[in-house]
Amino acid sequence: MFSNLKPLPTDPILGLMAAYQQDTNPNKIDLGVGVYKNEQGDTPILESVKKAEAFRLENETSKSYIGLAGDLGYCRKMESLLLGEHSALLADRVRTAQTPGGTGALRVAAEFIARCNPQATVWVTTPTWANHISLFEAAGLQVKEYPYYDYENKGLLFDEMITALKQVPKGDIVLLHACCHNPSGMDLNQEQWKVVAELAKDVGFTPLVDIAYQGFGASLNEDAAGLRVLADTVEEMIICSSCSKNFGLYRERIGACSIIAKDTAVANVSNSVLLSVVRGIYSMPPAHGATIVDTILGSEELTGLWHQELAQMRDRINGLRSLIVDNLHAQDVAQDFSFIKHQHGMFSFLSITKEQIERLQKEYAIYIVGSSRVNVAGVSKANIEYFAKAVADVIK
């Protein structure tokens, strides 16, 4: 049976990781992998996480399963983090399952959608996170794209986006990035979220919000503002969240899939289907990451410390955006990179050619994916001048 298999191409980002690790150039820079890095190029463990882990090790009393929905304390706290004191929570319309990371949340959501309507099409932004399409297709769902990023003007194609979404059939799913759009860094503003929310209500499509970077854009609440506008407007929606970035828990694989239904009765039925999906994929989620988040959000002291650490990461990213623009400008390049300052989160397109990207890798050991998407957090004060000079050289 196995001899009939044919090799599949390596994921471009994973291939880039391998090439970077093998590169012996002491000046090498990795701008491909989507993880937060500090000034030393490390992805550190937050102090709030260390304290929560110490508390867990001291107080854990069992290694038994934690149930299909996962850590219920974690689930409730994630709902509050995402929705605040929203009326949907007060009306008991929200149900959440802990998942193995944000990717796991999306996979669970895909199977849940297939149970609700196997004929549904999932509409994603052009461009979107590379793994979105394969996750939905794995559940047998059709995926189509709608206009989003304006490559030429480095902004949003909002009018084109709305025109396309008006044509989405009732019962289809529209995937929206809550904040820090991956890969473009371009987000909807509050007024645009209101337009999309009213459109979802009028057209009848179901929003699926991917919120993987809450707190990395403007603030925890501002980054969830669009999501909350949708929840104010539509009866049903799905939220896929992740704690990989804002808690730095990448390898703990901790996320959540939340369903907002029109009333408590439908929420209960939806929850039974959601947990059936979980049972058929991984049965029970791991406990460690959820307990860490639950402990932090359940402690006033640790929550305060986490807020400080999150603000430091966010401020560093925003500062690096300005630093990149200023250093490229100092190289007298003709290309305008000022748009990088106005985007959010870790990612942005440099909008350079594949040949220029190849030269950056070959001549300067600067690793960027083929779309020219860069992880802003991979730059530091120590390497920014080297980076800017390299970019200037390949584009002149």
CA pair distance 164, 162, nearest whole angstrom: 5
Which residue is catalytic, options 30, 37, 77, 129? 129
CA pair distance 382, 26, nearest whole angstrom: 13
**Hey, what are 162's tokens?**
């709305």
Cβ contacts of 355 within 8 Å, gap of 6 or more: none
Q: Is 129 a catalytic residue?
A: yes
Alpha-carbon distances of 273 from 105, 269, 280, rounded to whole Å: 14, 7, 11
Q: Is-contact 87 116, C-beta < 8 A?
A: no
Nearest to 282 by CA among 23, 3, 66, 55: 66
Q: Find residue 255's DSSP bridge partners.
A: 99, 242
CA pair distance 6, 18, nearest whole angstrom: 22
Q: Is 51 a catalytic residue?
A: no
Which residue is catalytic, options 172, 210, 223, 294? 210
Q: Is 263 a catalytic residue?
A: no
Which residue is catalytic, options 223, 245, 294, 306? 245
Residue 283 backbone zone (phi > 0: left; psi -120 to 50: alpha; other: beta)? left
Q: Is-contact 248 45, C-beta < 8 A?
A: yes
Active site residues: 129, 210, 245
